[in-house]
Every structure is written in structure tokens, then in C-alpha cells.
Amino acid sequence: MNAEVFFEYCSSKNAAEVTFPFDDKTLVFKVGGKIFSLSNIDDFSSINLKCDPDKSISYREAYRGIKPGYHMNKKHWNTVMVNADVPDALIKELIDHSYELVFTSLKQRIRDGL
């Protein structure tokens, strides 16, 4: 996956917001004010994505390119290496999963407003 595909895919999510809250290199996607994906746009070697803790373990065992979230809660976040053994289709599934986890965690009134 390249940075352009990543950007377009995350941007296509309902009510996705593009932000740079940490610095001018860390691209962050949010929904309802909560992060569902982030990546360094200078080197675009990995993406941090939220993941169900039970699924995280399975993914980490199955793919060398999926590791505990770098600078994130290692139980709930994975770092996915984009040029490793993780297929693009799976990366998109992981983005979808992360988005859904965050979206469903929002208060109902916030979800209804999106």
C-alpha cells in the first residue's frame, strides 16, 4: 500500500477528519474526534490502527508486519508495516475494523450527528 491509497481510503470513511495534532509529519484520521488511524507521512512505512485485543494477538502471530502499536496502548493498537507481508486487502480490512471500533465507541448522539 502506498501513502496515496492509504489517504484516499481513510478519507472515504463517513465523517473522517484529517488532522495533524502532534506535528507536521504525523497524519491522523479521526471520527467523532477520536483517532482511528495514524501514520508518518514522511516515510510512510507503517500505520497505527486500533484493533480488538483478541484479534490483535492472532494478527501478530500470523504476520511479521503486524506488531504491538508503536507509542500506543499495545493491547488496543497495532502497528502495520506497509511493505511487509501484510496484503493491501488486509490493511484495508484493518482500517475498516479500526474505524468501526472507534465509531461504535462514540456516544449515540455523536454517531447520530455524523
CATH code assigned at 83:
3.90.1150.30
How high is the pLDDT of residue 114?
87
Q: Are 42 and 25 in contact (CB under 8 A)?
A: yes
Residue 24 counted as domain residue: yes
φ/ψ of residue 17, rounded to 5:
-110, 140
The pLDDT score that the predictor gives to residue 62 is: 97
Name the residue range of residue 13's domain.
3-108
CA dist 12 → 17, 43, 88 (Å): 10, 22, 16
Q: Is 21 contained in some domain?
A: yes
What are the pLDDT tens digits along the chain (114 aa)? 999 999 999 999 999 999 999 999 999 999 999 999 999 999 999 999 999 999 999 999 999 999 999 999 999 999 999 999 999 999 999 999 999 999 999 999 999 988
Q: What is the pLDDT of residue 78?
A: 98
Domain-located, residue 78:
yes
- Its pTM surpasses 0.75: yes
Looking at the domain assignment, is residue 50 inside a domain? Answer: yes
Position 113 in a domain: no
